[in-house]
Amino acid sequence: MEHLHHFQLSGDPFRNEPLLKSYFESEPHQGALQRLERAVRQGKGLCVLTGETGSGKTMVVRRLLECLEEEVFEASMMVVLDGAADASWMLKRFVKQLGVEEPAPEREGMIAQIYDQLAIVREDGRQPVLIIDDAHALAKHGALAEVCSLLKLEYEDRRLLTLVLAGPIELDQSISADASLAHRIDVRVELASLNPEAAAGYLAHRVSQVSGTPGIIDAGAVAALHELGRGYPGLMNTLADNALFEAFICGRNQMTRVDVERAHRDLGWAGVEPNTATPTASAPTVEVPQAPPVAADPVLQQTLNELDPELAKMFKAAPSAVGSPMPTTGPPKIEEPEPEDLLVELIED
């Protein structure tokens, strides 16, 4: 690409594909990886990793999968496709990943096949691990509880499976809504965003990987990428990719804050916040001026006193307010009924 050559880059530095060669050991990512790996090696049951879109969850679980030795673990990973992930689909996929060529047609048969295969792995001295990315999609089709029920499978008084679920905040919400699932979590990790220093290191790391000079992103652009990308690697990648092209179009040798802000505006991210309900527009509040107290009328006052003393008190005139004019400017006036009209309505009721 011409703009990459312009900045003397051997490749695209901000590709948003979860390539392990691009893994950056920031404190949040390394901390999440360590916690999940500890849980897996201890044979825990349900482990949950959550984080905002672009926080790097997929990169963490792929790195976890790479860390698990084949001679110790039988580990596999599945990515859930939204719209296809019902319980039957998930069980069939898992059965096939365990080496069964012909999954049973019914649920009970597939559960039995899964149990047999997991028991074989356990007898071989290895620990089965299933990692599911984008696991929040399971909840939409009622499959989340079904998959988690596999944790009940035991062999010689030992749990047969460690399950790692990764997904956005919606996954956390779905699990919390089911008390039986929420109480089954052994380890829960929430992936935090990068601080400004880590974000600068991450961006320099990505540029250096394609033989570039980190200086092609000036300090103002680095700050803007962290601020507008909220410290999430995936979001910063998208912004930086577009901003780099903006700098090229303008003939600059450095990405600036102006380029990042232009990219942010063109992507339509302004004002978009994750997991925040959009407030419903409501009609503007109109302040209505208070009408002056009703002037005393002996006949009216006597009638009201006889009918309802409490109501009569409401219509007693305040001497200081009698004759005060209504405002001539401001919001529309609300016409108050005449005292005689009030009397007629009261008597009719």
Domain boundary (135, 160, 190) is at 190
Domain boundary (190, 218, 244) is at 190
Tell whether the model's pLDDT for residue 208 goes beyond 60: yes
144 and 229 co-located in one domain: no
H or E element in which residue 79 lies? strand 73-79
Give how far Cα 130 sits from Cα of 55, 77, 162, 166, 250, Å: 21, 6, 6, 11, 48
78 and 219 co-located in one domain: no
Q: Do the beta carbons of residue 289 and residue 332 sit within 8 Å? A: no
Give how far Cα 148 sits from Cα of 47, 174, 175, 306, Å: 11, 13, 10, 74
> For all residues of the chain together, what is the average pLDDT?
82
Tell whether the model's pLDDT for residue 238 goes beyond 90: yes
96 and 178 co-located in one domain: yes
Tell whether the model's pLDDT for residue 294 goes beyond 90: no
pTM of the model: 0.75
61 and 207 co-located in one domain: no
243 and 174 co-located in one domain: no
Kindly state the tokens that stand for 152: 């009940």
In terms of DSSP bridges, do strands 73-79 and 127-133 run parallel, antiparallel, or are they unpaired? parallel
124 and 153 co-located in one domain: yes
Q: Do the beta carbons of residue 172 and residue 139 sit within 8 Å? A: no
Helix, strand, coil percentages for the chain (3-state, nearest 5): 50, 10, 40
Q: What is the mean pLDDT of residues 161-187?
A: 92
CATH of the domain at 247: 1.10.8
pLDDT of residue 328: 43
Supply the Cα-derived Rg of the chain in whole angstroms. 33
Range of the structural domain that residue 146 is part of: 24-190
Minimum mean pLDDT among 63-72, 163-172, 247-256, 330-339: which range? 330-339
Minimum mean pLDDT among 8-22, 109-123, 289-303: which range? 289-303
Domain total for the chain?
2
Q: What stretches of 96-177 adopt beta strand conformation (E)?
A: 127-133, 154-155, 158-159, 162-167
Domain boundary (160, 190, 220) is at 190
Residue 144 lies in a domain: yes
Residue pLDDT, tens place only, 35-45: 999 999 999 99
